[in-house]
Structure 1
Amino acid sequence: MVATIAIALFFDYTNGFHDAANAIATSVSTRALTPRLALTMAAILNFVGALLGVEVAKTIKDILSGFDNIADPHHALTVVLAALVGAITWNLITWYFGIPSSSSHALIGGLIGVGLSAGITVDWDKVVDKVAVPMVVSPLLGFTGAFIVMTVIMWAFRRARPHAVNRGFRLAQTVSAAMLSLGHGLQDAQKTMGVIVLALIAGGEHASNDEIPLWVIVAAATAISLGTFSGGMRIMRTLGRRIIALDPPRGFAAEFTASFVLYFMAIGQHAPVSTTHTMTSSVMGAGATKRFSAVRWGVARNIITAWVITIPAAATVAAIAYGILRLLIPGN
């Protein structure tokens, strides 16, 4: 159980450095913040955001509705461990190639894959309502919202001097990047909390209907903030420059919109959406106000392909890991 929790926290750490770019790439690319200052701010606010709620964690915990029926604790812990292996493997692959895929959906894919291979009941209604539908809706909200916000900014400041507008929105990006970092912590750290609780249930240390312990919340918050501080420059280049070269107003519009989508999904819907999907689509929406051809749609197409295959890819790796772990771990 201790080893499984440690690996869950390692996943949280990889989530931090994998997704650090989401919150700060646009602020760094527009030179509103230096990389080190941006990473420090994001790490601190990731920690604070992780302390603001646990409803998303409960959603993650309940995806495997048949988990409580596993009698053998060795088998139950093997299930959790295999799901984590699937998620971590996909995180590292996409980080290496600089692809901003979703750590959230990698974890969900890992849970689904190991559930299917182990014969554990998956709550498909929850998967559809809390994962599949928000997975489609949140990028659409990000793209449309950022396009509208940027259109309003362009109209409101149409007579202002461009130099003054850029200087003002560089300052505003400090606030919008902070909002996005807070939303990232609120969303992504909770997913690890849900997995740790599954490990505690498997080890007989937690009842499935109990509240999430404070130490679990603090541990997950610490792991993701440390991961964020270690940075993710590969993905930062993709978001900050390769999709479209953003100016400060468009960077603000993307960050402002993405943060509100994250808050709405976490607090209003209790849905574990992807910070990566939301922020990337917001960057595209803000960039499209310049002209649609300004967005490098080839890069965007590759990113969307990674989004589509994340859940099945992580599920496949988790299923393979489950088969291997059953052979290696005594008692299975």
Structure 2
Amino acid sequence: MNLVRQRGSTLTVLSWNFERNGANDSGKRLRAHELLVSLSPHLVLRQEMWGADASGRRILYELEEVLGLRGWLGPRSSTAVFADPALFQPVREWSDVGPMWVQPPTALMLRFVPAGFDATPMAVVSYHLNYASSAHRLAEAEWLTTWADKRWTTPQGALARIPALLAGDNNSYPSLDNGDIPLPELHTIADEPHRVHRSYTDHSGLRAMDIRPDQVLRMAGLEDVAWHCATTKGGGNKALARTVTACESHGPDSRIDRIYATTDLLHAVVGADVIEVPEDVSDHHIVRLRLDAERLADILNRRPEAASPAA
């Protein structure tokens, strides 16, 4: 409760695709998660949790200990969610996340404890869209929209749509907006198979860079919080920074890791940025979102002053 009562208190949400979960290098994995700890997170959405289900989920529990957070591991160790148990309590999990996933998401409904027992919970989803197939990515993105359409019965007996927070590796690009990293040109990607992986055949029969997952999520009322911050709060260079560094095979800098939120949560957004990590640690950087705890509690209690996003 104290977190909400303190004006200006913020929640830190991190999303990170830590390459191959350290590739069986326990020292590297420890250092990587100590980096996350240094950012004082309350929610961590991880991708590439390879091996975390082996030996009775030993690595998952190891990372819980390092982070000081409770963890949930998605199907086939593709993704995970970690949360501060003093602030977030689960009210349900989705073990059946849909039929088409190559790397299934971790999907939970969490209650924000400081908001009170009668407050609406929120859906929290860590995901990793398909690497090789733009058609498959599109189907996965469409399935992600189902978590923006979940309902919860309020204490008054009404059926209310719950807010949703989703984050992950999109393996595709944001729609071009003012100030965002420009889309790469297909010929700048040296690896020919990767040109196929990151593009699709458009209505004219030509290959176009894949922005369709972003378009689908936005159409469903899920906003890219970095773009929201850049366009309403300033600081676009930080919010819209690269999440993958340019390389010879994959092309120029890109922002393929993103956090999305239903528009009702935008009122609680304080800021977003990217924490760069050394190349020898991971091929992806850390995406950080900061939320105002008091505003989040108001949104989940559906108070009138939280009805519209803050400028």
| TM-score where L is the length of structure 1 | 0.24
User: Is the strand fraction higher in 1 or 2?
Assistant: 2
